A and B are shown apart, each in its own frame.
Chain A
Amino acid sequence: MRSLALVLAIAAIACGGEPTASAPPRGLRLLHTFGAREADLLSGALASWPDPVSTSLVPFARGQTVIGALLRAGTDCPDLIRIDATWLPGLARAGLLVPAPKEALAVDWLPEARSLAEDRGTTWAVPQTVDGLMIVLGPAANGIDGAPPPTIDALIELATHTHAKWGLGLRVDGYWVVPFLRAAGADVADGSTGELGIDRAEARVAIARFARLFGTIAAPAPAPGQEATDEARRFRAGEIAMLVTGPWALADAGELDALRVWPLPEAPRGGHLFVVPKCAADAPRAWKLALHLAEPEVQLAWARAIGTVPTTRAALDEAPRVVKEAYAALVGARPLPREPVTALLFDDLTPAVAAVVAGDATADEALAGVERAWRRLLSGGGS
């Protein structure tokens, strides 16, 4: 009787128990963190790929968490993942990734891109783009000429004397604090050495200085979650002379031809990568897809459309001027420590900076909490 019920149940499902359900599409599964514009370009790039590819969005904000959980579980495993470069050490050292094949190593990657794809001497990824912080000058920066400011002090001095409503556009975010920490002689924690970097007095000075910029030289901090749209609106309206941001924001900042890019002193550099998890069903094919998505023609299309900085020399040579300027700016930037803990640092640094900017805490109070949190992280406990 139970057998009969099972047969009937299977038959019911086969005959349309789920009316619109169909067999999972064949082909590769790609997990990505792209926004709307990038997703459109991805669709275009996938159109020239011979097999069907099902894509699935992972929100960037929790991408590391979600991807880590997925790969650890091993179920519903994607074949290819587009990740932030800071996530690579954690995923690679957890044994969740497949090293890149020889074909990936043979590509003429830009040096900054190649280093992004490596961890402890092994190449784990196909670099998709190089990014980091830089200075974007728009219509409101029309009187700002000469050489880029060599220091944060020079940048603030320059921003103080612009004709725009706000000399700078900054975000209340730990990533944006990094140049100020570095300029003051501090830094974020280094998981490889165990140095906190933030436990110095210079860090407190830097945080306090950073917080004081908002509403004086830099545009006021918008409501949480509105940072990108608010800064883009202000920048396009000419309220902000110099926007500190990354290549990801170029398309929203205005017409690419109308923008200029300067290097940001002490800026952090990063990027995005295509990686193949160990649980992938078809890793060789996934690497081919990764290389396809990183082909110069594809990268060039993205560079022209939204200002994405390529990772191949061939694409960079043909890229728009502003993209070349962005790459030149990023060459001088310094990567964050290539440690698994690095990406997690900002979960504590950003709320602390926000508390200082909001006036809820002094820099001393805020960094004391960050120091305690980072010590926990470096010691491997808790978050």
Chain B
Amino acid sequence: MKRRESLTWRVLIIVGAAAVIPTVIVGALAIRREQGDVEEEVVRGNLALVRSLGASLDATLQDARRALAIGGSTWADRPSSVVRLPSSGEDARLVRRLRREVPIVASLSLISPEGAPIAGDALPKGVDPGFHTFGGYVGDVVFTGGRPVVPMAVQARSRTGELTGILVAELDLAFIGEALGEARLGPGARLVVVDGAGIVVARSDRGPVGRPLRDPAVVRALGSPQDGWLSDAGVVAVYRNLASYQSLRGVRWSIVLEQPEADAYALARRTTRDTILFGAIALALALVGGALFAARLTRPLGALTARADAIAAGDVPAAAPVRGPGEIGHLGERIEDMARRLAERSELQAALARGDRLATVGTLSASVAHEVNNPLTTVMGYAQLMLEDKQDDHPDRAGLELIAAEAARMKSIVAGLLDYARTEGSDARSSADLGAVLRRVTALLEPQLRRARVAIALAVPADLPEVAASPHALQQVLVNLIQNAAQAMPSGGTAKVDARHDGASLIVRVSDEGPGVDAADRARIFEPFFTTKEAGAGTGLGLAVCKRLVSAWHGSIELEDSERGATFRVVIPTA
């Protein structure tokens, strides 16, 4: 049992390891890869959103600048510009038209290259026409009335490239906040546009603008020439420096998208959790399946082990082979073959031993019988002679009769012994007619049977072949069996004798209606001197003699199982 358990556990461990190790390794790799892919996808998606917003912002500002540049160029190419004629109202019309065409213009000034106002609004505060060259944005974002605006200067150059004026516009950047607010963001995410000083220009949430925001992502964004991402303090951020856009050159703006990692990677974490959960379930199922498989695999092995133990202990009764798949089933069959052969060998050895013993007994009996027979004859003869001389009332008569009777009984025993011994040399080559022998036996026993109120019923076909046995020995066997049947029925009954031809043998069955033979006695019933009769009623040699005689014919005799009485079955080869 211990070995079986050990084997079961080993199989279970192997199956478990075969399931656990690949599952854990493949699962871990899959989780890691999946997590990396999802995180990469989150960053890529957020970067795409930031780029898209940046491009949209760029396009809006580009449109504004292009409109101002075209208007400025057209204005610069007017004849009065080149020859410096006094304004004929074209300047004011230019400013009005550009205000209409560029909706994000909050204020617009047209100044000369020297910085003198020509038309439109006053120059925005902080714009210094004396230092820079009016080539683009002229300052960072400022907040006017809470609205972010950026001053932008567009050169009005003539077709020859000559600078004839500058359009200085304040662009209302509130549209950026509106664009950010309309962006479809992931959970917890926010978009922020900061200027070069880290001042929040616009944001997607309701947080304040116009205040500095110098978290790591903003710092990184302001120092980066293009875009990138970072993960810091539980926040994943992507950014793009808007200076990389064509229309935004000169402006140190950055757009930053920040999202808590818990939200950004929620899908990855949920996928990881589900993968682990389903992996664990699959693993548990695999282990349960493995346990069942191990038990199923080792159960027949356990039965085989128990069977082998039993065989080793000498308990080899026939049993159905242990069933099992493949080699296990084959092993079970082979073990039963071995057990059967061991049983046969054991039986053969026992039979040989018994045969030796019986042979010894036979030899000894023959010797003793030969030596005892003559004195017995003498004793019995003198006892008879002395009885003849004694009257019936003679006081010695009873004793003499007892001597004679016992001597006769002893002579009968000796005769039995001599019969037993003689079977060694029984001639198997002779033949006998069973029907004739039976008729002779019934005639011989008829008086005895009648006294015992035992009828004999014969069922013997007439056309039976002869058997390979001596008629005398066959008669002896049948007499013994019929006498035993009669003795088994002290109150009378019917002794049945039937015979039939079965292949190369005749089968003769002799049965009675007596109490039958106890199970404990069945194995010894053919042993010499074994008898179930009362003391003095039998010698215990009758069935032993029968056995030896039949065996000498290469036949068999056995006691059949029957519900009532005893039935002896004798198989005799045909001649």
Contact = CB atoms under 8 A, between A and B. Distances in A.
Contacts of B217: 20
Nearest to B241: A57
Given A69-B139, A354-B161, A370-B161, A21 B250 contact: no
A75 B199 CA distance: 12
Interface stretch (B35-43, B46-54, B219-227, B315-323): B219-227
Contacts of A57: 222-225, 241, 243, 252
A65 B138 contact: yes
A376 B246 contact: no
A81 to B, nearest CB: 13
B252 A59 contact: yes
Interface of A: 17-18, 20-25, 30, 32, 34-36, 38-39, 54-59, 61-62, 64-66, 68-69, 72, 75-76, 225, 344, 347-348, 350-356, 360-361, 365-366, 368-370, 372-373, 376, 381-383
A364 B335 CA distance: 118
B381 interface: no
Contacts of A76: 196-198
Contacts of B160: 352, 355, 360-361, 365-366, 368-369
Given A36-B226, A365-B160, 19 more contacts: A18-B207, A18-B211, A39-B223, A55-B222, A56-B222, A56-B252, A59-B250, A61-B249, A62-B250, A62-B251, A65-B138, A68-B131, A68-B132, A69-B132, A369-B161, A373-B163, A382-B113, A383-B113, A383-B134
Nearest to B226: A36
Interface of B is mostly: loop
B133 interface: yes
Interface in B134-150: 134-139
28 contacts: A20-B217, A21-B215, A25-B214, A36-B225, A56-B222, A57-B223, A57-B252, A62-B132, A62-B135, A65-B132, A65-B133, A66-B196, A69-B128, A69-B139, A348-B163, A350-B161, A351-B155, A360-B159, A361-B160, A361-B161, A366-B162, A369-B162, A369-B163, A381-B114, A382-B113, A382-B114, A383-B132, A383-B133
Q: Which of B138, B214, B226 has the largest number of chain A CB atoms within 10 A?
A: B214
A89 to B, nearest CB: 14
B250 A65 contact: yes
Contacts of A365: 160
A348 B224 CA distance: 30
B213 A21 contact: yes
B483 interface: no
B115 interface: yes
Given A54-B223, A351-B157, A355-B159, A20 B114 contact: no
Interface string B187-211: 0000000001110000000011001
Contacts of A347: 133, 135
Nearest to B134: A383
B250 A54 contact: no
B129 A368 contact: no
Interface of B: 112-115, 128-139, 155, 157-163, 166, 196-198, 207-208, 211, 213-217, 219, 222-226, 233, 235, 237, 241, 243, 246, 249-252, 258
Contacts of A382: 112-115, 129-130
Contacts of A23: 214
Contacts of B249: 59, 61-62
B196 to A, nearest CB: 7
Contacts of A369: 158, 160-163
A382 to B, nearest CB: 4
A39 B130 CA distance: 32
Contacts of A69: 128, 131-132, 138-139
Nearest to B159: A360
* Among all A-B residue pairs, the 9 with the closest Cβ atoms: A369-B162, A62-B250, A55-B223, A351-B161, A352-B161, A361-B160, A382-B114, A65-B132, A355-B161
A20 B162 contact: no
Nearest to A225: B246
Contacts of A75: 197
A360 B155 CA distance: 17
A62 B197 CA distance: 16
Interface hub of B138, B159, B226, B237 (most chain A Cβ within 10 A): B159
Contact of A65 (B131, B223, B246): B131
Contacts of A39: 223-225
B133 A344 contact: yes
Contacts of A356: 161
A75 B126 CA distance: 13
A351 B160 CA distance: 8
Contact of B225 (A21, A25, A35, A68): A35
Given A57-B243, A354-B161, A382-B113, A18 B250 contact: no
A65 B251 CA distance: 10
Contacts of B215: 20-22
Nearest to A33: B225
Nearest to B113: A382
B393 to A, nearest CB: 145
B252 A66 contact: yes
Contacts of A344: 133
A289 to B, nearest CB: 14
Contacts of A376: 113-114
A364 to B, nearest CB: 9
Given A383-B113, A383-B129, A20 B258 contact: yes
Given A57-B222, A355-B159, A383-B134, A373 B113 contact: yes
B136 A62 contact: yes
B438 to A, nearest CB: 120
B162 A370 contact: yes
A298 to B, nearest CB: 18
Contacts of B214: 21-25
